[in-house]
Amino acid sequence: MASEVSDLRAVLFDMDGVLVVSNPLHFRAWQDFGRQIGLVVTEEMFYREFSGRKNEEALEALFPGRFDADQRAELSRRKEALFRERYVPLLLPVPGVRELVIDLRRRSVPLALATSGPPENVRAILRHLKLEGAFDVVVTGQDVTAAKPDPAIFRISAERLGVPCERTLVIEDSVAGVRAARAAGAVCLGVSTSEPPSRLEEAGAAHVVADFTGMKAETLEAIFRDARGREAPDGPMGTDAP
């Protein structure tokens, strides 16, 4: 790829809702687990607090003071173990995502997976999708102290790839994830598997798609260039970006 400021250098994928249609199954897992421990998580609560965030943060937001930090971590660990055992085999890829990842790999575009989920989920889902080894860098919730919308997860991903955040395209399905991407200085492509397109656009997504059907590396490059071209000179890129 050329060295122009408007050219894309790397692509950073979220996992849940981007690689796989997983939020409905995560919700079902929380319902199943909640029944075991006497915890009620409604659909509204799930999509408001859990989508794109660490479980521990969502639990504290929903049930302030009810659990200490160790208890929240243990509840999260047990719920995710249930999710992997019961629901990962049922996961479907977001249409077109495997083909897009394979095309990006063929074009030697550096790729990162940046997810609030735990490493065990990453391994299980990549194995399920037959995408093991597809990502040059994997950053999980264990690698950051603050979850999205904090931009740290994308900044770390870009740093490990050796590219400036401003030269990356982040693909996200959640409002928190879009806000994190924009705070990191990246261009964000929204995928409306979890939120209406309007909410992702309001959060800062440059473009929103329903899925990845027919998309290739050139599609992402065009989205990135268009977004940078629409920015004011004193926008996130600035005029002296590498």
Of 71 and 234, more confident:
71
Mean pLDDT check: name the lowest of 99-108, 111-120, 231-240.
Answer: 231-240
Residue bearing the bigger pLDDT, 175 or 232: 175
Gap between the Cα atoms of 87 and 82, Å rounded? 8
Residue 217 has pLDDT above 90, yes or no: yes
Of the pLDDT bands very low, low, confident and very high (cuts 50, 70, 90), residue 232 is low
* Residues 16 and 49 reside in one and the same domain: no
The structure tokens listed for 46 are: 């799930």
Strand ranges across the sheet with 168-172: 137-139, 111-114, 10-13, 168-172, 187-191, 207-209
Residue 33 lies in a domain: yes
Residues 165, 60: one domain? no
Report d(CA 48, CA 51) in Å as an integer: 7
Query: What residues act catalytically?
Result: 14
161 with 75, same domain: the answer is: no
The C-alpha atoms of residue 207 and residue 210 are separated, in whole angstroms, by 10
Into how many domains does the chain fold? Answer: 2
224 in a domain, yes or no?
Answer: yes
What is the sign of the dihedral through the CA atoms of 17, 19, 25 and 26?
negative
For residues 184-192, average pLDDT: 98
Mean per-residue pLDDT for 177-191?
Answer: 97
At 106, which CATH number? 3.40.50.1000
Q: What is the pLDDT of residues 96-109, one digit of tens each?
A: 999 999 999 999 99
The answer to whether residue 204 is domain-embedded is yes
Q: What is the phi/psi pair of residue 198, to 5°?
A: -60, -40
Q: Are residues 166 and 142 in the same domain?
A: yes
| pLDDT value of residue 61 | 87
* Same domain assignment for residues 183 and 138: yes
Token representation of residue 204: 């800062």
Is the pLDDT reported for residue 146 higher than 50?
yes
Q: Are residues 199 and 145 in the same domain?
A: yes
Q: Are residues 149 and 61 both part of a single domain?
A: no
Smallest Cα–Cα separation from 173: which of 211, 142, 137? 211
Sequence-distant (6+) residues with CB within 8 A of 67 are 59, 60, 75
Residue 238 in any domain: the answer is: no
pLDDT at 6: 65
In a domain, 236, yes or no: no
- In this structure, the answer to whether residues 37 and 105 fall within a common structural domain is no
Per-residue pLDDT, averaged over 226-238, amounts to 70
Mean pLDDT across the chain: 91
Indicate whether 44 belongs to any domain: yes
**Same domain? 42 vs 127:** no
Least Cα distance to 142 among 125, 123, 119 occurs for 119
pLDDT of residue 153: 97
Domain boundary among 71, 89, 107: 89
Domain of 39, in residue numbers? 23-89
Compute, in degrees rounded to 10, the torsion defined by CA atoms 235, 115, 36, 59.
-30
- Note whether 80 and 178 are same-domain residues: no
